Structure 1
Amino acid sequence: MASQIQDRLATDQDLLLMQEGTMIRKVRSKNWKKLRYFRLQNDGMTVWHARQAGGIAKPTFSISDVETLRKGHDSELLRCLMEEFPLEQGFTVVFHGRRPNLDLVANSVEEAQVWMRGLQLLVDLVTSMDHQERLDQPGWVNDWFHRGDRNEDGRMNFQEAQRLLHLMNVEMNEDYILNLFQAADVSQSDTLEAEEFVNFYKALTKRTEVEELFENFSSDGQKLTLLEFVDFLREEQKERDHAPDLALEFIDRYEPSESGKLRHVLSMDGFLSYLCSKDGDIFNPACLPIYQDMTQPLNHYFINSSHNTYLLGDQLCGQSSVEGYIRALKRGCRCVEVDVWDGPGGEPIVYHGHTLTSRILFKDVTATLAQYAFQTSDYPLILSLENHCSWEQQETVARHLTEILGEQLLSTTLDGLFNQLPSPELLRGKILVKGKKLRIFEDIVDEEEEEQLEPDPYCESETQPQLQHETQELTPRNRKKKKNSTLILCPALSALVVYLRTVSFQSFTHSRENYHIYDISSFSETKARNLIKEAGNEFVQHNAWQLCRVYPSGLRTDSSNFNPQELWNAGCQIVALNMQTAGFAMDICDGLFRQNGGCGYVLKPEFLRDTMSFFNPEKPISPFKAQTLLVQVISGQQLPKVDNTKETSIVDPLVRVELFGVPEDTRQQETNYVANNGFNPHWGQALCFHVQVPELVMLRFVVKDYNRKTRNDFLGQYTLPWTCMKQGYRHIHLLSKDGTSLHPASIFVYICIREDLEVDES
């Protein structure tokens, strides 16, 4: 694969033109538009820019950071400038995670197409690489070489090599480094040329802990025979069922030598390739595709859900954008929220009411949903509609939904379903509207407003201050007056609500006696937590037959998040988070929904699907056996810096293992820190956890930079469900705060799970 990139750089006309460089207009807003000189570097992996050709250049982005490219017509910002620049000359670079898009306008349609074709080619090549191929990619090593070659003479002297080590986040003994340097300097010129530097780099990245493990199972220390590799897979990796078949498959996949493949043996290089691959990953590959039963009722699943999906920032003055919906849908979200209000010219708008957040057109949101709803997952998308519109604009909302979504919109019930909700399988490719539905002789008000009409001690709605005057009882005497102060639901919009009719929650008894399986109630996080503490088992039983949605407190004006695990413990399906805000809550959410094909639906454990369940998250007794987890944190590989601008700054890494589950299982432990080594730190420490309800546990591995004066700084993390964790020697490939890859940063661990072992964790 590495050679493919180099070959394309030398032959592809688009890439050759990109390496020459082009003046392109960078657009940040309607008023900020600057010409910049963009150039693809010779490594084929990075794009740099300068104010002008020949000017001081700086990195703009790495190809591995790019998720996709969009034409100018698909850019919200460039469409606003279509009278100034032809849309055909514009394009957008979309990055993984929460990094803002890069909107660009070329000087001609031809130049725009050159960059779009060239970038897409490189993105496709990089995406198809596996972990080891990326490490072997010359561009990766060459990038370090160029950063270390300070005087740009094509050679690296020893002083430059020492400086490079600081850039690479490591402080090593000078004599040891000198020995590695001299061994790589085969030309004996006291400098390293590019090829010699590759050998120097390989010596730096030598994995002694993996070599020791290899030698423990190899009779001659040179290779693993087929039987030796089978023994390793059975004894250490717990691959007991298919070890012989897997051994043959892995040798064929990871052994670099053709003769080794023919003899069915695994070299040290092949062994390391296996451990660094997806098959040596801590996340069970069997849990990556859709592997769960998708034919159960909708309420039997945890559903990946977003709150105030239109926002890219905070709740008070943040930007509203269709990009919020695109990003949520791209990461597998299956329930998005739309707050719709009356807009000018008869067109409804979406924004966070009574705030300074910007406005976007409802029809643009609907068009975005039509385009992106099923690109990541074809399982049903729930549109949680918070309706604040007048009768006339509600009709416009209904018309847009019907005309723009077309066949995607579920408008009628499915045949043969009377006593349960349809399954995700039956609803493939359908968008369901969640909202109020008219009932005979009743006036229906907006969902969030109706919550305010209830004398509810748990009430914590975002719109409470504006609605306190509406708490009077609705009687025939004041009905006429009431109609003038509340929103009356339009029949056309009501008709689009098929299975997800929102109703106010009064009590679990009231819900059982008055509501149906297609009714759904919303709870603030505070109200839901109180219900779990006061009636945890009743909440579990309620969620076993009816959907519920939990949303963040209205006091979270900074768009922060709560811990979703507390609500999943009670079986709450739609736990809505502010997806624009990075942090441990979104790490847990991403970790849970990483499984099952990333389709946005995860089947709840059986004890959370039983309407007669005895399970109480506050006093848990698992129907299965408690388990003990042993995590030996062995080593780290090429960890990132906290501040890349400081060459002399080297991290002192430690690893924290966090468990999130029922209260008894929610705990954390951490290793000691390793001083001045973020490149190849070694901990060799064992952490032990006793877990009562492993079926609900999420594990979060966090690497931090120790600092005795301030809070330890975040370096990287990886989160996954207990049920998707592989045992044995595993690599954990770290992710950033935004959930994007920090390749090649990883930690190497040994995982062992035992049943019914009580341990003292003090």
Structure 2
Amino acid sequence: MDPEGPRVKDDPHIKMMMAGSTLRKVKSRSWKKQRHFRLLEDGLTIWYKSRWAGKGHTTFSIAEIEAVREGHQSEVLLCIAEEYPANLCFTLVFQGRQGNLDLVADSPEEAQAWIQGVRKLIHKAENMDEKERLDQWVWDWFQKADKNKDGKMNFKEVRKLLKMMNVEMNEDHALHLFTMADKSGSGALEIEQFVQFYKMLTQRDEVWKVFQDYSADGEKLMLEELENFLMLEQHEGERSSQHAQELIDHYEPSESAKKQGAMSFDGFQMYLCSQEGSIFKPELRGLYQDMSQPLSHYFISSSHNTYLLEDQLRGHSSLEAYIQALKRGCRCVEIDCWDGGDGEPIVYHGHTLTSKILFKDVISTLRDYAFKVSDFPVILSLENHCSVEQQTVMAQHLSQILGDTLLTSLLDGQVPQLLPSPQELKGKILLKAKKIGGRDSSVDGALTDEVSDEEETANSDAETLSTEETPAASVNHSAKKSKSKLSQFLSDLVVYCKSVHFHDFEHSRLNAKCYEMSSFSESKAKKLVKDAGPEFVQHNKRQLSRIYPGALRTDSSNYNPQDMWNVGCQIVALNFQKAGLEMDLNDGLFRQNGCCGFVLKPEFMRDEGTQFSPERPEERQGYKPLRLSIQVISGQQLPKVNPKEGSIVDPLVRVEVYGVPKDQAKEETNYINNNGFNPVWNETLNFIIHAPELALVRFVVEDHDKASKNDFVGQFTLPFTCIQAGYRHIHLLSKDGTAIPPSSLFINISISELT
């Protein structure tokens, strides 16, 4: 069995990749080294090494590559553009937070072979069905375990393979399965026999049991039996009959079963492991929400200090950080601007050792990448520390580089009572910044009303110094500077997102315009949530609020965004560069609605006549608490925590609910000793959800450790409203939020009203 098949390997680009090429790997203007690259026989792995480095080599999988950029499309390749023409250069962009690989070929033909070849392989990997994906995975393990590359695997190699695959198995049982698969009695398995061995090894008794409950003959599900399963277990009601036929057509591998209108166990298992059988309702993955409501009615995926790839003190400022945030669906990015040399404004975290990039390059990057994953508007949050002269340069760059993409005037010429909608603002970039006085000032003017919210934090907040605006070296400077000058040209570009100081909720209710918005440090926002939650909810029905991490988070850590979403804050800015629970929640909330970066708030957070208190969800109109019951049945092929160590994981599953305070809860299973391959828990965890519209559910798998903190294995987070009841698989994600197939959990979910 060769999962690649003859067609791909006959492709001239793939052939050239398999023959191998010497390419220059470039890390900086001075670091350019030759490496020999080739595509391995499995058609899935790229291998490379230095000609001088003895046996040392590196490999990575095509599955890890997200895209190939052609020409000078990275900071590194731009800095050597004079030395190497664009037609020799390309960049491999990896998923998650892994750094890019910048390469230079010897000829345009060789560059094209790699560019086109990798693109074809990515396309093939993305379009595999579940069976092909599993075949590819099995083939990959066979390649890894076949150390002497003879196309066969003896029992000693199989034993090592089981350890690599995270399974501790009784040796007698493993030998028994090996002997059954070794039909020729040669003492070694070829790939086809290895597939049989793998099937026996991965026999899913817990799925087989569910299948048997509905199959009259124990061998297949007739159409009516499958309908019964969909209606009774998967809670599909009336659509079960039409859906049953669709599932057979789509997932049943056996033509004879299809002709009988039946589904075999293989087809049943493939359906359960597919996206349709996953925990996430398929119809809510795409764009399904009303996008014609005012901007203030949506949660907006938002980034803080977007230019940073690492920490806030010495981290690397990079255009790549903007690209990574935008491709994760971010719709509000931040730019900290300071006076630079040669009259060109620069972007960096002021008064720290973070590196600097040019403002105009950031704007060019926004132009190129703002609308790759979503057509809906991008808000550009400006932290402006520049002189009037360089602010005018900024205004020129914004206008010239962005052109018509930049929104510079009211949509219909009328001062609005409500903000425009994401639909009306499609394809537009909006500037969020200070604006001089009213809408008719015409000269460079002083902002004499207040210092910015962030500056005020630096001057008066005893708890922290805001990293947002004023790092340590500039506290005194800021304290003196209560008047700041603003360029009229820059001021004129601010239309619907005018930054204003927040006084209190009553002042806003009586005086604020819908296009005025305030920024709050996390500590100030938390205090308002605690002291005046219902008023904060009302405020956010009309106006945008932006929350940003406090000053002590110099390591780029994050606060929990759920507290802010609970009161309807739209722009809850997180450090996208930092993986962890908080970014899992952000990714989870915005995984719905086509990953477009906008999620419509619940109706009780939009309707002016409805009062809502996160502390007292039971007081709202239409209050309907729900019971969530999760039977954690089993796990499949969990990844090793440390692939190089021999130890097998001792997995446990924890389910965490995030939402209003009454909904915050965690429950976990016991751990299973030494089995990351097919652990079975069969434990039920129960929750009561008081505000289902706001709740997020996070499934976490950890490696139990008696002596120290448990190690993270994988997670998946989704909105409660997107959960499908019934027997479901959860396809786990890495710490970085990237897929780790075929790792999954098998669960049975039931959701019911409290009686």
Give TM class, smaller chain. Answer: over 0.9
Mean Cα displacement is larger for which, 147-156 or 340-349?
A: 147-156
Unaligned runs of 5+ in 1: 473-481, 758-762
Counterpart residue number, 1:629: 628
Pair 235,92 (structure 1): closer, same or farther in 2 beyond 3 Å:
same
Pair 512,111 (structure 1): closer, same or farther in 2 beyond 3 Å:
same
Q: Is the 8 A contact 1:131 1:744 kept in 2?
A: no
The equivalences for 1:21-420 within 5 A come to 21-52=20-51, 56=55, 58-137=57-136, 140-415=137-412, 418-420=416-418
- Report how far residue 57 of structure 1 moved: 5.7
Q: Is the 8 A contact 1:458 1:527 kept in 2?
A: no
Secondary structure of the structure 2 residue equivalent to 1:401 = helix
Structure 1 counterpart of 2:489, one-letter code: A
Mean Cα displacement is larger for which, 275-284 or 73-82?
A: 73-82
Mean Cα displacement is larger for which, 229-238 or 458-467?
A: 458-467
Q: Is the 8 A contact 1:49 1:57 kept in 2?
A: no
Q: Normalising by structure 1, what TM-score?
A: 0.95
Secondary structure of the structure 1 residue equivalent to 2:289 = coil
Cα distance in structure 1, aligned partners of 2:149 and 2:128:
29
Pair 371,519 (structure 1): closer, same or farther in 2 beyond 3 Å:
same
Structure 2 counterpart of 1:638, one-letter code: Q
CA RMSD of aligned residues (A): 1.9
Cα distance in structure 2, aligned partners of 1:433 and 1:458:
30
Cα distance in structure 2, aligned partners of 1:186 and 1:180:
11
- Report how far residue 10 of structure 1 moved: 2.8
Counterpart residue number, 2:466: 461
Mean Cα displacement is larger for which, 45-54 or 407-416?
A: 45-54
Secondary structure of the structure 2 residue equivalent to 1:279 = coil
Mean Cα displacement is larger for which, 124-133 or 528-537?
A: 124-133
Cα distance in structure 1, aligned partners of 2:494 and 2:98:
35
Q: Is the 8 A contact 1:448 1:461 kept in 2?
A: no
The equivalences for 1:351-750 within 5 A come to 351-415=348-412, 418-439=416-437, 443-444=446-447, 447-448=452-453, 450-452=455-457, 460-462=465-467, 463=470, 465=472, 466-468=474-476, 486-621=483-618, 622=620, 623-646=622-645, 648-750=646-748
- Report how far residue 86 of structure 1 moved: 2.7
| Percent of aligned pairs sharing the same letter | 56
Secondary structure of the structure 1 residue equivalent to 2:686 = strand
Q: Normalising by structure 2, what TM-score?
A: 0.95
Secondary structure of the structure 1 residue equivalent to 2:92 = strand
Counterpart residue number, 1:476: none
Structure 2 counterpart of 1:678, one-letter code: G
Pair 469,141 (structure 1): closer, same or farther in 2 beyond 3 Å:
closer
Alignment: residue pair count: 742
Pair 348,446 (structure 1): closer, same or farther in 2 beyond 3 Å:
farther
Q: Is the 8 A contact 2:464 2:552 kept in 1?
A: no
Q: Is the 8 A contact 1:306 1:333 kept in 2?
A: yes
Cα distance in structure 1, aligned partners of 2:624 and 2:17:
59
Cα distance in structure 2, aligned partners of 1:264 and 1:626:
41
Q: Is the 8 A contact 2:74 2:320 kept in 1?
A: no
Q: Is the 8 A contact 1:626 1:693 kept in 2?
A: yes
Structure 1 counterpart of 2:630, one-letter code: V
Q: Is the 8 A contact 2:152 2:188 kept in 1?
A: yes
Q: Is the 8 A contact 2:454 2:521 kept in 1?
A: no
- Report how far residue 214 of structure 1 moved: 0.4
Cα distance in structure 2, aligned partners of 1:28 and 1:446:
42
Cα distance in structure 1, aligned partners of 2:471 and 2:326:
30
Structure 2 counterpart of 1:91, one-letter code: F
Mean Cα displacement is larger for which, 347-356 or 193-202?
A: 193-202
Q: Is the 8 A contact 1:341 1:350 kept in 2?
A: yes
Mean Cα displacement is larger for which, 88-97 or 28-37?
A: 28-37
CA distances 1:541-593 after superposition (whole Å, capped 9, x unpaired): 11111110000011100000111001000100000000011000000000000
- Report how far residue 460 of structure 1 moved: 4.8
Q: Is the 8 A contact 1:158 1:181 kept in 2?
A: yes
Cα distance in structure 2, aligned partners of 1:162 and 1:197:
13
Secondary structure of the structure 2 residue equivalent to 1:280 = coil
- Report how far residue 670 of structure 1 moved: 0.7
Secondary structure of the structure 1 residue equivalent to 2:238 = coil
Unaligned runs of 5+ in 2: none
Cα distance in structure 1, aligned partners of 2:130 and 2:245:
20
Structure 2 counterpart of 1:241, one-letter code: E
Secondary structure of the structure 1 residue equivalent to 2:629 = strand
CA distances 1:676-722 after superposition (whole Å, capped 9, x unpaired): 11111111111011121111110110011111011110010000000
